[in-house]
Amino acid sequence: MKKNSPIAKLITFTVNGKEFTRYVIQSMLLIDLIRDELGLTGTKTGCLEGECGACSVLLNGAAINSCLFLAINVEGHEITTIEGFSTGEKMDEVQTAMIQNGAVQCGFCSSGMAVSIKSMQTRSRNESRIPTRHEIQKGLEGNLCRCTGYIKIIEAAGEILNK
């Protein structure tokens, strides 16, 4: 990035617990910052129209579509991608539940699904309330899967959210 570009801005933000400072152009999408600038390719590029959820990441704990979010707006905020879920070799409980419930096939949707489940888990804990199966389905309706038929993903989410 050309540092003296009139359309670039220096921003500082946190990704997976690590602080970054980068020049970003005003039109850059968050998904491009994450994948191309930071090399975190666990977040997938799908429709780029806010329809598939493959690009989902957590912004301060809540799921967003990174294909619809301008990178410049992450200044001062905390992003978590799927790479931030595991600790070394140890998987996060959402990832473990998805694997143990057979909720992963080709895997293209899986990081987005895990992000949405994590977002629901955070909200559920904040509200001290376990979501119903219908609410879990609604919470995942922004994430498309071509492989699993959704049942196993909903069961994995249910296991996590009922803990």
Contact residues toward ligand FES (CB under 6 A) are: 45-48, 50-55, 65, 67, 104-110, 145-148
By C-beta, is 23 or 50 nearer to ligand FES? 50
Smallest distance, Å, CB 21 to ligand FES?
A: 25
Smallest distance, Å, CB 103 to ligand FES?
A: 8
By C-beta, is 15 or 140 nearer to ligand FES? 140
Smallest distance, Å, CB 79 to ligand FES?
A: 15
Query: Which residues lie below 8 Å from residue 58, measured CB to CB, with a gap of 6+?
Result: 64, 78, 79, 80, 81, 115, 118, 119
Integer Cα distance of 13 and 156 in angstroms: 31
Reference 119, options 82, 67, 89, 149; nearest CA is 82
**Token code pair at residue 15:** 């990704």
By C-beta, is 8 or 92 nearer to ligand FES? 92
Smallest distance, Å, CB 64 to ligand FES?
A: 9
By C-beta, is 138 or 146 nearer to ligand FES? 146
Smallest distance, Å, CB 15 to ligand FES?
A: 17
Q: What angle do CA 78, 80, 85 make, to 5 degrees?
A: 140
Task: Please report where in the chains the tokens 């196993």 appear, as a residue.
Answer: 152
Burial 120-150 (b: 16+ CB within 10 A, else e): bbebbeeeeeebeeeebeebbebbbbeebeb
By C-beta, is 12 or 27 nearer to ligand FES? 27
